[in-house]
Amino acid sequence: MAKIEVENLYKIFGPHPAKALRLLREGRTKREIMEATGHGVGVNDASFSVEEGEIVVVMGLSGSGKSTLVRCINRLIEPTSGTVRIDGTDVTALAPDELRRLRLAKLGMVFQNFALFPHRTVVQNTEYGLEIQGVDPSARRAKAMEALELVGLKGWEDSHPKQLSGGMQQRVGLARALALDPDILLMDEAFSALDPLIRRDMQDELINLQEQMQKTILFISHDLDEALKLGQRIVLMKDGAIVQVGTPEEILTSPADDYVARFVEDVDITKVLTAESVMKKAETVAYLGTDGPKAAMRKMRTSGISSIFALDKTHHVAGIVTADDCAALIEAGGGELASILRTDITTVTLDTPATELIALIHDLPYPLAVIGGTGKLQGVIVRGTLLGAIAGRGLAQ
């Protein structure tokens, strides 16, 4: 079951939304509805889900409805129509007290403007949500300190916000949300007010934290590069409606319409393609303890290759042997493949970006081995297939 489910969600701004909603469902545009009724369309029939532990980025230009959408999820803004479910609970049907309990128990929110209390110290700001929950002072102080250490602010707990840089203030905002230990983080343009270098640092920090925390994160951004860097999936919005949902690679290589294509046309495809998307299946492999040099030579000759990866008895990559080394071993009277095994090979993981692959493979005499989470061989990358994949994906845009 998805952690967050949004189904046919609408938000119309104005005193009498029913007429505007009817026109919207009839296919009238956002501008036409504003001209006809004076009502604004915030969200138009949005449906998507977020899986547990996933980072989903909702993005679009200013006025696309992304911030309205996230505020409808926790009902800081009341939806006009539709359903939002968190862990199967219909948030739109909750009474005020029930909604408050759900927010405190499951949701943390990080805003663009930091929203820190200037008269409170860093640790007092961090423990504020716990204070609202009525947590014992010593317990909330301990949790706040843990959160500050997570975001790299240990030692700054007695400082005031005015003594911190913008990036540090945003870390306090993130720590305040983390101190509550929420299942879900809603981050609304959380890094947009930061300088570019600090912003990149915060993006890296969030990625590192996510490896430890495995929270469910819905991140709002207007920046495509940020969305591509952070999002496992991207929800792209225009005029209140969702125009495409997909992985970064799907958004870039298979845009749903001309709007999406124009939106992503200037993106460097190598920043998004990964080893998994450009690798090919290993045509053949050798097995240590089973194959000798003659068997390895035959496999290479049949496949038209000059080297072959050798797997151990657990099917993990042990190294690589070349045709020249096999031929020399055969001429010397034979022997075990292990005696000519080259173990100083370069391997990459499935999620290694193409930018790194290009640098790694540039002077490499052998293919790159792509290793999965279990350490087993998933595929290989050779220079020609990598460059061909990049060129092909670039043309596909």
CATH of the domain at 327: 3.10.580.10
250 lies in the same domain as 323: no
* 219 and 56 Cβ atoms separated by less than 8 Å: yes
226 lies in the same domain as 374: no
94 lies in the same domain as 210: yes
In a domain, 230, yes or no: yes
pLDDT at 262 over 60: yes
pLDDT at 239 over 60: yes
236 lies in the same domain as 365: no
392 SS3 class: helix
8-state DSSP, 369: E
**Which residues have a Cβ under 8 Å from the Cβ of 290 and sit 6 or more positions away?**
none
* 48 and 15 Cβ atoms separated by less than 8 Å: no
Q: Which among 267, 284, 302 is the end of a domain?
A: 267
Q: Which among 267, 287, 311 is the end of a domain?
A: 267
pTM check: above 0.85: no
Share of the chain above pLDDT 70, in %: 95
69 lies in the same domain as 34: yes
In a domain, 168, yes or no: no
For residue range 166-189, list pLDDT tens digits in order: 888 888 988 888 888 889 999 888
240 lies in the same domain as 349: no
Q: State the pLDDT at residue 397.
A: 40
Beta carbons within 10 angstroms of residue 144's beta carbon: 26
Q: Which among 223, 239, 267 is the end of a domain?
A: 267
204 lies in the same domain as 306: no
80 lies in the same domain as 212: yes
Which tokens is 296 given? 């390895």
329 lies in the same domain as 222: no
51 lies in the same domain as 189: yes
Question: The domain containing residue 287 runs over which residues?
Answer: 276-396
What does pLDDT average to over the chain? 88
Distance, CA of 187 to CA of 221 (rounded, Å)? 9
What is the β-pairing status of strands 233-238 and 241-246?
Answer: antiparallel
pLDDT band with cut points at 50, 70 and 90 for residue 395: very low
- Residue 111 sits at the vertex; the CA angle it makes with 109 and 112, to the nearest 5 degrees, is 160
Distance, CA of 183 to CA of 48 (rounded, Å)? 18
287 lies in the same domain as 337: yes
State the CATH number of the domain containing residue 204.
3.40.50.300
Share of the chain above pLDDT 90, in %: 44
For residue range 347-394, list pLDDT tens digits in order: 888 888 887 888 788 778 888 899 887 778 888 888 776 766 666 554
In a domain, 130, yes or no: no
The edge-to-edge listing of strands for the beta sheet with 40-50 is 40-50, 4-13, 81-86, 89-90
Secondary structure element (H or E) that encloses residue 144, with its range: helix 137-150
- For residue 223, give the nearest of 255, 272, 269, 267 by alpha carbon: 267
In a domain, 127, yes or no: no
218 vs 282, more confident = 218
Q: How many domains does the chain have?
A: 2
- For residue 353, give the nearest of 207, 196, 244, 213 by alpha carbon: 207
Spell 208-233 as b/e; 16+ CB within 10 A means b: ebbeeeebbbbbbbbbbebbbbbbeb
254 lies in the same domain as 299: no
